[in-house]
Amino acid sequence: MHAFISGFRQKVQESMEIRDRILVIEDDKSIRNFLMTILEANNYDVILATSGTEGYGLLTSQCPDLVILDLGLPDMDGIRILKQLRQWSSMPVIVVSARMHEKDKVEALDLGADDYITKPFGTSELLARVRTAIRHARAASRTPDGVQSGVFQAGDLKIDYDKHRVYVNDVDANLTQNEFKLVSLLGRYAGKVLTYDFIIKEIWGPNMDNNNRILRVNMANIRRKIEKNPAQPQYIFTEVGVGYRIVEPG
């Protein structure tokens, strides 16, 4: 009897659970079906659009929690949809693009896309990107200025935002001030890729010419200080031609 009641309660809770709704705008049928299958199996509600016009209409009428947007659509460039959307909404957008199109990814990120996935992508990568983007959107709406405090911990890496220190295995990594700013910026957007231009503007200001050399030098120094093997980083990853991403806490 007891088991029956708790089972019943669980059912009621499940049916009352509010699911996040994801709009997929993708003209390729196999990718669309793949996305729908994975997302529905992981408790998301999915709305599908096969063209840019249809997708944009659903964006405005359905206000989904997240959009997965293919850049190469038959009737309209995905970038155009992103631009239009960003004029009135900050809802999270993950862009889907073909491999080797780094320029498109950077453009999409700089125009306000939250992340990208490259075809062909795997299930766990997709779900991680989706979770991260939704979580960041929620966090950003709670703390608009993104003021950081407390501690970020991922494996042996610890960022102490209050003390302005980074530790590896509880040993101070002795980062310089700019190196700390860089690591804490990545930590604030953990799991999300940040473009070179975005990082340079945040750390060195808008007047810094966007030459990546100074950023690369700083990153090399950071890696020497925090990674066991700087050539095979486990904390800060390079997204070739795009930028950097730090692991999610945990």
Q: Which residues bind Ca ion (CB under 5 A)?
A: 27-28, 70, 72
Nearer to Ca ion, 47 or 203 (CB): 47
Nearer to Ca ion, 31 or 47 (CB): 31
CB of 27 to Ca ion, least distance (A): 5
CB of 73 to Ca ion, least distance (A): 6
Nearer to Ca ion, 72 or 230 (CB): 72
Q: Is the dihedral of CA 184, 188, 191, 194 positive or negative?
A: negative
Nearer to Ca ion, 73 or 182 (CB): 73
CB of 167 to Ca ion, least distance (A): 45
CB of 175 to Ca ion, least distance (A): 42
